[in-house]
Structure 1
């Protein structure tokens, strides 16, 4: 593999630094090259189960090629990088391995756990979420005309996120209570958005505590599964797993104020993640999924 990396990166030096890391899907390690230090994420399987929502180039809950998964991550990092709002590793290249699977090469960042940049993270994440709105506002001012892009987030989220997950629940275990609760909840969802204007925002897509860190310069986010959606969606998984301080939320909401009905919508967004985990990790998430649905249909 190292010979292929040298060839694909056009480097005469490829020296393992001793730094490695990884998660439940891929492993990673750093190398010094002629062009600086890089971090290489490796997945040796030709196909992997992608259970991470929806990214720019891939869909959720399907078996996909490792290369396609990394292509999606590279596109996500590129999109976030272009906003110039929050630091992410610079993507370099996706490489298909002769032995099967793929590798994703990106900039190496000396990261450690987030401890002192929570306020900056809140401000920078808000700037990421507001970037598309500000661009659209600028375009409308310059053109002095109404933007033509129409977007129905509520229908998309209800049908293609929640309904999809519940269809999977039905197929795997046929849970009657979930089916009955959904029949009531899907009718109520539009009411949760009556006082909200949803302007599509570029989201990280999987921003839990494990995908946030810091360098000496400030906060970093990584491992994105980006797409355009409601800013509040991002906060669903953050609330589900916790790990973000009050200073983060204060800084974020100073820039992106809570709209009426925020608390119920936050539950609605947590519901997707609970259903997703129920489908992929078992019945341990059944109780929390049903509890959220019961709370929302009250």
Structure 2
């Protein structure tokens, strides 16, 4: 594999630094090259289960090629980089391995756990979420025309996110209570958005505590699964797995104030992640999924 990396990166030196890391899907290692230090994420399987669901190039929880998964991550990092709002590793190249699987090469960042930049993270994430709106506002001022983007977020989220997850629940275990609760909840969902304007925002897509860190310069986010959607969606998984301080939320909401009905919509966005985890990690998430649905249909 190292010979292939040398060739693909055009480097005569490829020296393992001793740093490694990884998650439940891929492993990673850092190397020194002629052009500086890089971090290489490796998945040795030709196909992997993509359970994140929402990224620029991958829209369903299906078994996909490792290369396609890394292509999606690279596109996500590129999209976030172009906003110049928040630091992410610069992507370099996706490489298909002769032995099967793929590798994703990106900039190496000396990161450690987030401890002192929570306020900056809140401000920068808000700027990321507001970037598209500011661009559209500028375009409107310059062209004095209506925005053509009229996609219905509420219908999209209800049908293509929640309904899809519940279809998977039905297929795997046929839970009657979930089926009955959904029949009531899907009728109520539009009411949760009556007092909020949804402007498409570029989202990280999977921003829990394990995907944030810091360098000496400030906060970093990584492992994105980016897409355009309601900015509040990003905060759903944050509330589930923690890792974000009160200073983060204060800074974020100073820039993106809570709209009426925020608390219930936050539960609605948590519901997707609970259902997703129920489908992929088992019945341990059943009770939390049903509890959220019961709370929302009251």
1:21 alignment counterpart: 21
Q: What secondary structure is seen at the aligned counterpart in 1 of 2:49?
A: strand
For the Cα contact (< 8 Å) 1:120–1:219, is it kept in 2?
A: yes
How far is 1:60 from its partner? 2.5
Give the Cα separation in 1 of the matches to 2:157 and 2:178: 17
Give the Cα separation in 1 of the matches to 2:204 and 2:148: 25
Answer with 53-62 or 133-142: which moved more.
53-62
Q: What secondary structure is seen at the aligned counterpart in 1 of 2:55?
A: coil
Give the Cα separation in 1 of the matches to 2:135 and 2:186: 32
Give the Cα separation in 2 of the matches to 1:38 and 1:220: 16
| CA deviation profile, 1:194-247 (whole Å, cap 9, x unmatched) | 000000000000000000000000000000000000000000000011110000
How far is 1:124 from its partner? 0.0
Gaps spanning 5+ residues in structure 1: where? none
Poorly superposed stretches of 4+, deviation over 6 Å? none
Give the Cα separation in 1 of the matches to 2:86 and 2:149: 26
Give the Cα separation in 2 of the matches to 1:2 and 1:133: 44
For the Cα contact (< 8 Å) 1:11–1:33, is it kept in 2?
A: yes
For the Cα contact (< 8 Å) 1:195–1:260, is it kept in 2?
A: yes
1:245 alignment counterpart: 245
Q: TM-score, normalised by structure 2?
A: 1.00
| CA deviation profile, 1:153-205 (whole Å, cap 9, x unmatched) | 00000000000000000000000000000000000000000000000000000
Give the Cα separation in 2 of the matches to 1:148 and 1:66: 35
How far is 1:53 from its partner? 2.1
2:65 alignment counterpart: 65
For the Cα contact (< 8 Å) 1:110–1:215, is it kept in 2?
A: yes
| CA deviation profile, 1:258-292 (whole Å, cap 9, x unmatched) | 00000000000000000000000000000000000
Give the Cα separation in 2 of the matches to 1:177 and 1:148: 40
| CA deviation profile, 1:37-94 (whole Å, cap 9, x unmatched) | 0000000000000000210011231000000000000000000000000000000000
Q: How many residues align?
A: 298
The CA RMSD measured in Å over matched residues stands at 0.4
Give the Cα separation in 2 of the matches to 1:64 and 1:151: 27
Give the Cα separation in 2 of the matches to 1:101 and 1:40: 13
1:202 alignment counterpart: 202
Give the Cα separation in 2 of the matches to 1:95 and 1:138: 38
How far is 1:151 from its partner? 1.7
For the Cα contact (< 8 Å) 1:53–1:205, is it kept in 2?
A: no
Give the Cα separation in 2 of the matches to 1:51 and 1:130: 27
Gaps spanning 5+ residues in structure 2: where? none
Give the Cα separation in 1 of the matches to 2:205 and 2:225: 5
Q: TM-score, normalised by structure 1?
A: 1.00
